[in-house]
């Protein structure tokens, strides 16, 4: 046993039957399902287990923004590779995905300088600077008050976080050699006993040649030493949903100045330091809640607004109303003229680590732990899955029965 607890007394006889597959994925969030999808497309048999009755983790609580353009280095490579896969699986499984791009709103010369500097580093056309009138038009605003320009990030995508994971899970479940088992909690993993790795669960044992643990921020429940070594924490974010503002049809994700402090491609340009200092002087309340003020519009017209960041090993479940109000008020300025009546609030949690944005660790033969330890799992999930599954064998599909 590598870690975890086996509670034999609670395991009934009917659940003791061991199930085999080429690949077992623990966790049916976007990271787990992306691994499952890539393994299926190599012709492998795949099982996915999730402790819940449907996915309710980070993958359904976010903006659905595949923030490709603003990544840098390894994350940029993963995001770009993942882009085609997002579009491929949207076609396959029928979830909503659009090549929407993103708009960044600039309200000061420093913000515009950051956008200009990044645009100059990228291929022509990938980042296009916008006039105040163009930004206002994107936002459905009649005026340009407070806007001095902005930028269009061509390559970003959007999906609907509330429906994507369910549709992808349903697609996985209906593949001939795959299945998704809900309400099935992994409790421990063993390897080296047989040729395969064995995962003990609340519904008996599952065996596979390759197991991927994609349990998001709960990696510390199953692998506490690994999580400790990687300094994994939980990052909690306040989020809000508003009613659909009349007449607003917003395809791109919308980012603002505080977003530029959170994505590496922006923070690497020379004016990023000045932007930080400017926000600290002009909008300390945004830095105090570690804000990334941004929003997206769902296909039903409602808006997802966020977000703040709070770090702890275990998060308090309580939402600070003043934080939510700050986010709501700030976005109210960006979308002035629109009615932003709030209809829902929630807390999202994702894994975070000061050691790096990704945790990928082979903890035993055929057992890999995968957690995106920064807030970009929607952006890099498919690229990461593609990389992690690249060494799996390809199998010919089984002949159809006569």
Question: Per CB under 6 A, does 375 bind ligand FAD?
Answer: yes
Using CB under 6 A, which of the segments 47-55, 90-98, 203-211, 356-364 binds ligand FAD?
A: 47-55
- Evaluate the omega torsion of the peptide bond into residue 307 and state whether it is cis, within 30 degrees of 0: yes
Q: Which of 26, 75, 172, 286 binds ligand FAD (CB under 6 A)?
A: 26
Question: Per CB under 6 A, does 223 bind ligand FAD?
Answer: no
Residues 62, 224: Cα–Cα separation, whole Å: 26
Map tokens 């645009």 to a residue. 119
Would you call 288 helix, strand, or coil by DSSP? Answer: helix
* Cα dist from 141 to 108, 128, 182, 246, whole Å: 18, 20, 44, 12
Nearest distance, CB of residue 223 and ligand FAD, angstroms: 10
x/- mask, ligand FAD, residues 290-319, rule CB under 6 A, reads ----------------xx------------
Residues 345, 343: Cα–Cα separation, whole Å: 7
Q: Which of 65, 162, 203, 310 binds ligand FAD (CB under 6 A)?
A: 65
For ligand FAD (CB under 6 A), the number of binding residues is: 41
Question: Per CB under 6 A, does 149 bind ligand FAD?
Answer: no
Assigned token pair, 13: 């006889």
Nearest distance, CB of residue 165 and ligand FAD, angstroms: 7
Of 136, 58, 60, 33, nearest in space to 298 by CA:
60
Residues 22, 8: Cα–Cα separation, whole Å: 25
Half-sphere exposure at residue 2, Cβ-oriented, CA atoms within 13 angstroms: 27
Assigned token pair, 3: 């870690």
Residues 166, 56: Cα–Cα separation, whole Å: 10
Nearest distance, CB of residue 394 and ligand FAD, angstroms: 25
CA-CA-CA-CA dihedral for 304, 148, 117, 249, to nearest 10: 30
Residues 210, 191: Cα–Cα separation, whole Å: 10
Nearest distance, CB of residue 247 and ligand FAD, angstroms: 25
Question: Per CB under 6 A, does 58 bind ligand FAD?
Answer: yes
Q: Which of 82, 132, 366, 377 binds ligand FAD (CB under 6 A)?
A: 377
Nearest distance, CB of residue 200 and ligand FAD, angstroms: 10
Question: Per CB under 6 A, does 216 bind ligand FAD?
Answer: yes
Using CB under 6 A, which of the segments 59-67, 110-118, 137-145, 308-316 binds ligand FAD?
A: 59-67
**Are the CB atoms for 167 and 60 separated by under 8 Å?**
no
Q: Which of 38, 47, 51, 196 binds ligand FAD (CB under 6 A)?
A: 51
Q: Of 112 and 180, which CB lies nearer to ligand FAD in the complex structure?
A: 180
Q: How, if at all, do strands 342-352 and 358-364 pair?
A: unpaired
Q: How, if at all, do strands 253-255 and 294-297 pair?
A: antiparallel
Nearest distance, CB of residue 37 and ligand FAD, angstroms: 12
Q: Which of 89, 350, 357, 369 binds ligand FAD (CB under 6 A)?
A: 350
User: Which positions lie near ligand FAD, rule CB under 6 A?
Assistant: 26-32, 49-52, 55, 57-59, 61-63, 65, 67, 185-186, 214-216, 218, 222, 237, 239, 306-307, 348-350, 371-372, 375-379
């Amino acid at each position: 046993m590598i870690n975890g607890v086996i509670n034999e007394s609670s395991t009934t006889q009917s659940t003791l039957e061991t199930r085999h597959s080429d690949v077992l994925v623990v966790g049916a969030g976007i990271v787990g399902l992306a691994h499952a999808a890539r393994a299926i497309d190599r012709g492998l048999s795949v099982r996915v287990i999730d402790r819940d009755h449907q996915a309710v983790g980070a993958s359904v609580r976010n903006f659905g923004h595949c923030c490709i353009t603003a990544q840098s280095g390894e994350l940029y490579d993963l995001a770009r590779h993942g882009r085609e896969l997002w579009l491929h699986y949207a076609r396959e499984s029928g979830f909503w995905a659009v090549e929407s791009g993103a708009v960044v709103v600039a309200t000061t010369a420093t913000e515009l300088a950051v956008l200009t500097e990044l645009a100059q580093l990228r291929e022509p056309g990938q980042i296009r600077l916008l006039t105040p009138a163009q930004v206002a038009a994107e936002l459905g605003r009649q005026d340009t008050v407070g806007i001095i320009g902005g930028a269009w990030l061509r390559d970003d995508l959007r999906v609907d976080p509330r429906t994507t994971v369910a549709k992808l899970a349903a697609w996985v479940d209906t593949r001939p050699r795959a299945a998704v088992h809900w309400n099935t909690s992994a409790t421990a993993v063993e390897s080296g006993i047989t040729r395969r790795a064995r995962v003990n669960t609340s519904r008996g044992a599952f065996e596979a040649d390759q197991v991927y643990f994609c349990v998001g921020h709960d990696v510390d429940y199953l692998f506490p030493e690994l999580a400790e070594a990687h300094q994994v924490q939980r990052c909690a974010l306040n989020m809000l949903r508003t009613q659909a503002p009349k007449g607003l049809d917003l395809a791109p994700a919308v980012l603002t100045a505080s977003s530029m402090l959170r994505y590496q491609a922006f923070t690497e340009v020379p004016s990023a330091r000045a932007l930080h200092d400017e926000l600290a002087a002009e909008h300390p309340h945004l830095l105090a809640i570690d804000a990334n003020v941004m929003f997206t519009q769902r296909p039903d017209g409602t808006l997802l607004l966020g977000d703040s960041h709070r770090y702890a090993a275990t998060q308090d479940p309580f939402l600070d109303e003043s934080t939510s109000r700050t986010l709501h008020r700030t976005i109210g300025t960006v979308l002035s003229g629109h009615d932003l009546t709030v209809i829902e609030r929630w807390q999202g949690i994702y894994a975070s680590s000061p050691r790096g944005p990704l945790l990928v660790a082979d903890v035993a033969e055929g057992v890999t732990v995968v957690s995106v330890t920064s807030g970009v799992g929607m952006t890099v999930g498919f690229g990461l899955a593609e990389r992690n599954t690249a060494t799996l064998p390809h199998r010919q599909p089984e002949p159809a029965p006569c």
